Every structure is written in structure tokens, then in C-alpha cells.
Amino acid sequence: MMLRNFAREIRFLSKDRGALFWLALSFILSVIAVSFGVTEVREQRETIANLIEEDAADRANALEGQEDWGSAAYYAFHFTYAPPSDFAFAAMGQRDSTPWKHRVRMLALEAQIHEADTRNADFGLVGRFDFAFLAASVVPLLLILLLYDLRASERSASRHDFLVATAGSSLSLWFPRALVRVAGLALLLLVPLWVASLIAGASGMVTLQATGIVVGALAVWWLIVELVSRIKASPSVLLTSLIGLWLALAIVVPALSKAVIETNNPIPDGGEILLLQRETVNDAWDLPKEATMKPFIETHPEWREYAEIEEGFEWKWYYAFQQVGDQKAAPLVEQYREARLRRDRQAGIAALLSPTSFVERAFEKLAGTDAVSMIAYEDEVRDFHAELRAFHYPLMFPEKDYDSGLLAELPLYKPES
């Protein structure tokens, strides 16, 4: 019986040119969104592959002819990067505004890690047309346009009572009629996503979750449209109210939550981190050597016996004050990092109030392009930088003889994902 209802409504839909237009549009938009995404991910991968190669060549070049550990460490840059995940094509998220590649060396990390090698600022400002944006913001509008006047248009054609009287109950009429549209919309959106997932090699689990998010969001918006369109008002009043609701949920609630979250969680001025780090590093030149070596030894007691600086300039002292500069800034850095994470956590809670924010965040999470992933990348860079120090200190402090052959063992950045 239900099946027959659906078959009937599918036939009915196939003659509704307005609805077919919206459905075709959603399919085209979905294809555009995922193809741009796949292209962008491919480009980013190419860039990374290129940079890995160039970086290695440049490092080899820089290391050539060095005569001590200190200069070798000074001139050797190391490329770090967060490769786009296999699902990143669907949501570029924070990758457009937060750096995902760095070249670091063994100097104070705080002077390097905040470098932002981001794209054209206009891109970050306007944003990309990716699948997450489509699913979060545009699709609800398409759904509204598809469903708002299911009842109201029949009412204004004075067909409503006739239809219901013929069908016997509303359930066997409106439910299949709306469901066919919602299912059509979902399918037309998801098929390009599935195809792109296959091409990009995204895991089935992630694609399944993404499917769940899209379907869930459609269901929520369907419920909203359903509740509103039961009001006996003219189609244009219904549409106006629904657009108003969309505005409230997609723009006003996120903007309001953002304002509240950011006021309640002030973030340390990034400039302060740099300033503190720079003052510490520069002051060290003028301070007695012990002023640097003492705090250094506190965190690196294993080099205590090599911490006597006799010359006016020694590399180990130079790197020690770089390290101390980072150490001095560390509490501020931690505050900055914590504040970012706290803001993100609260944004996650606030997103429950806005299906638009929720979908966008959920996609970013699946794609590994959310704030947490970007911070995780920064943590990886910090870890790698620590590895660099751990490699050089045992050579530099005991003042082992320079052996360029050992540099083949230099740590190489390997992204976790």
C-alpha cells in the first residue's frame, strides 16, 4: 500500500516541472561542488609532493660544505605539512584560513610556527563552494522551495479538500508526496558525493557518516518545513516565514553564538607571544651566559656537564637561548592553544542550535579540516621540532666532531594521517 503511494507520487513528481528544476539544480550544484573539491585536493597533494622534493634538494644544498653542527642546523630548513585527507574534497574548512604547511628550522619555533602561508585573502573571506557549504546552507533553501507549498498550493487551487477527501487520510497523501521529494533531493546530492568519494578513495565509513549527516539535516529541515506549512496561510506567507527561519538558523544564531563565545573566551594577543619570545631571545645576547644556561638546564638536565660556555659565541649557547625563548613563551602559547580549543568546543555545543553550523562542522570533522585537526597539525610540527632538537643536542653539546654523514639520519617530517 505504502509502496503504491510512493510509485504514484514518483509519477506525479515526474510531471511537476518546478520540482524537477530544483532537483536538477541540486544535482548540478553537487557535481560542481565535489569536482572543485577533488581538483583542489589534487592540487594540494601535487603542491606537497613538489615541496617535499624541492625541500630535500634545498636542504641538501644548504648542508653541503657546512663545517659544524650549529651551522648545519642553522641553514637546514624542514618542510612540515598536513596533507588533505581523502575526504577533504567535501569540506575545505579551516585549510583556507589556517596554514597547513611550514618550513621550520632549529631556531625558536614560536617565531616560525605562526607564519601563515595561506591563499589569496579573498578566498578565505568569501569562502569556497564546497559540498559542506552546499549541504549546510544551500540545500535547506532548495528543500524549502521544494516543499513549502505542497499543501498551500493545493489550497490556493482549492484542490486541498478534494485531494484529502479522495485519499481518505492526509497521511497517505502528504507524507509520500514530501518523502519522494526529500528522497530525490538526498539522492541527487549524495550520488556525486559517493562518486567523488570513490575517486578520492575516501573510506566507506566516512562516506556513510557523511551520508548520515546529509540525510539527518534534510530530515530536520523537512520537519521544520512540515510544521510551518501546516499553518493555513498563503504560499507566499509560508515561504517568507520559512526563509525567515532559515535566516535565523543559518545566519543569526551562528553569528550570535560566535559573538558570545568569542567575548566570553578572550584569546591572548598573538603578538604578545612573538614579542615575549623575541625579547627573550634578543636579551640573551646581552645577558651573562648563565642566565640562558640555567633555565635551559632546568628542562634539559642531561646536558648539565656540557653547559659551561667559555667562548664569546658558541652554537650550543645560541640554540639554548632559542630554546629558552620558546620556554618563556610556552605558558602564553598554551593559553592561546587552550583558548582556541575552548572556543571550538563551545562552538560545537552552540552548533546544536543551528543545523547549518552543525552540518558544516560535522563535515569539517570528517574531512579533518576542523580547528581541532589544524591544532593537531601544529602539535605535530612542535613534536617534529622537538625531534630536531633531540637529534642535534647530543651532537652539539658534547661537541662531537662534525660528520656530515650523520646528517643522513636527520629526522624527516612524517604526517600522522
Partner 1 sequence: MTSPLEARSLSLVREGNTVLDDVSFTVAQGEIFALLGGNGAGKSSTLLTFLGFLEPSGGDILVNGTSVGSDVALARSAIAYLPEAAALYGHMTAYENLDYFLDLADKLASQAEIDAALERVALLVEARSRRLQSYSKGMRQKTAIALALLRETPILLLDEPTSGLDPIAIDEFHDLVKALAEGGQTILMVTHDVYGACQVADRVGLLRRGKLVGSFAAENNKRINTEAVHAAFAEREAV
Partner 2 sequence: MTAITRIAREEWRLWLRSKTVVAAALIVVALLTATSVLTVHRIASEQSQRLEQQVAAEQTFFAQPDRHPHRMVHYGHYAFRPPPPLAMFEPGVDAVTGQSIFLEGHRQNTAMFADTKAAADLGGFAALTPAGLYQLLLPLLLIVLGHALFLRERESGTLAVMLAQGQSGVKLALGKATALLVVIAIFMIPLIAVAAYSVSLGESALAAFSLVGGYFAYLCIWGAIVLTASVILKQRAVSLGVLIFIWLFAALIVPRFAINASSVAIDAPGKIESDLVMLAEQRKLGDGHNAADPAFQRLQDQVLKQYDVETIEELPINWRGVVASYSEAELTELLNDYTEKRMGLEASQSRMFEWFGLASPTISVSSLSRALAGTDLATHHRFLRESEVLRFDFVQSLNQAHAEKLDYTTDINRNNDAASAQRARINSASWQVLDEFRFAPDSASKRLGRTALSLGILIMWLLLACVIVLLTARRVRV
322 binds, among partner 1, partner 2, none (CB under 5 to 8 A by kind): none
Under the binding rule (CB under 8 A), the answer on residue 261 touching partner 2 is yes
Closest separation in Å from C-beta 174 to partner 1: 11
Number of residues written out for the chain: 417
Among 78, 95, 102, 392, binds partner 2 (CB under 8 A): 102
Q: Residue 217 corresponds to which amino acid?
A: A
Binding segment toward partner 2, per CB under 8 A, in 172-180, 203-211, 309-317, 398-406: 309-317
DSSP H helices in 127-170? 131-133, 139-147, 149-156, 160-167
Closest separation in Å from C-beta 303 to partner 2: 21
Contacting partner 2 within 225-254 (CB under 8 A):
234-237, 239-241, 243-244, 247, 250-252, 254
Of 5 and 154, nearer to partner 2 (C-beta) is 154
3-state secondary structure of 321: helix
Closest separation in Å from C-beta 109 to partner 2: 14
Of 46 and 161, nearer to partner 2 (C-beta) is 46
**Residues contacting partner 2: total by CB under 8 A:** 102
Q: Are 209 and 199 in contact (CB under 8 A)?
A: no
Under the binding rule (CB under 8 A), the answer on residue 271 touching partner 2 is yes
Distance from C-alpha of 14 to C-alpha of 177, rounded to nearest angstrom: 12
* Site track for partner 2 across 371-410, x = CB under 8 A: x---------------------------------------
Distance from C-alpha of 274 to C-alpha of 325, rounded to nearest angstrom: 10
Closest separation in Å from C-beta 207 to partner 2: 21
Q: Are 107 and 282 in contact (CB under 8 A)?
A: no
Contacting partner 2 within 175-194 (CB under 8 A):
none
Buried b (16+ CB within 10 A) or exposed e, 195-224: ebbeebebeeebbebbbebbeebbebbbeb
Binding segment toward partner 2, per CB under 8 A, in 2-10, 170-178, 196-204, 347-355: 347-355
61 binds, among partner 2, partner 1, none (CB under 5 to 8 A by kind): partner 2
Identify the helix (H) or strand (E) that includes residue 383.
helix 371-396
Tell me the three cell numbers of residue 204. Answer: 566507506
Q: Strand 101-104 to strand 78-81: parallel, antiparallel, or no bridges (unpaired)?
A: antiparallel
16 binds, among partner 1, partner 2, none (CB under 5 to 8 A by kind): partner 1
Among 199, 220, 245, 274, binds partner 2 (CB under 8 A): 274
Distance from C-alpha of 143 to C-alpha of 216, rounded to nearest angstrom: 13
* Site track for partner 2 across 122-161, x = CB under 8 A: xxxxxxxx---x--xxx--xx--x---x--xx--x-----
Identify the helix (H) or strand (E) that includes residue 104.
strand 101-104
Closest separation in Å from C-beta 12 to partner 1: 6
Under the binding rule (CB under 8 A), the answer on residue 34 touching partner 2 is no
408 binds, among partner 1, partner 2, none (CB under 5 to 8 A by kind): none
Of 2 and 237, nearer to partner 1 (C-beta) is 2
114 binds, among partner 2, partner 1, none (CB under 5 to 8 A by kind): partner 2
Under the binding rule (CB under 8 A), the answer on residue 340 touching partner 2 is yes
| Sign of the torsion formed by the C-alpha atoms of 359, 101, 274 and 289 | positive
Q: Which DSSP symbol is given to 27?
A: H
Binding segment toward partner 2, per CB under 8 A, in 35-43, 324-332, 382-390, 392-400: 35-43
Please report, as ranges, the residues that interact with partner 1 according to CB under 8 A: 1, 4-5, 8, 11-12, 15-17, 157-159, 161-169, 172-173
Tell me the three cell numbers of residue 187. Answer: 539522492
The residue behind cell 583558548 is: 339
The residue behind cell 520540482 is: 19
Among 19, 29, 90, 307, binds partner 2 (CB under 8 A): 29
Long-range CB pairs of 387-393, under 8 A, 24+ apart, other chains included: 387/411, 388/73, 388/78, 388/104, 388/105, 388/106, 389/106, 389/319, 389/323, 392/69, 392/73, 392/106, 392/319, 393/300, 393/303, 393/319
Distance from C-alpha of 217 to C-alpha of 354, rounded to nearest angstrom: 10
Under the binding rule (CB under 8 A), the answer on residue 62 touching partner 2 is yes
Under the binding rule (CB under 8 A), the answer on residue 338 touching partner 2 is no
Under the binding rule (CB under 8 A), the answer on residue 287 touching partner 2 is no
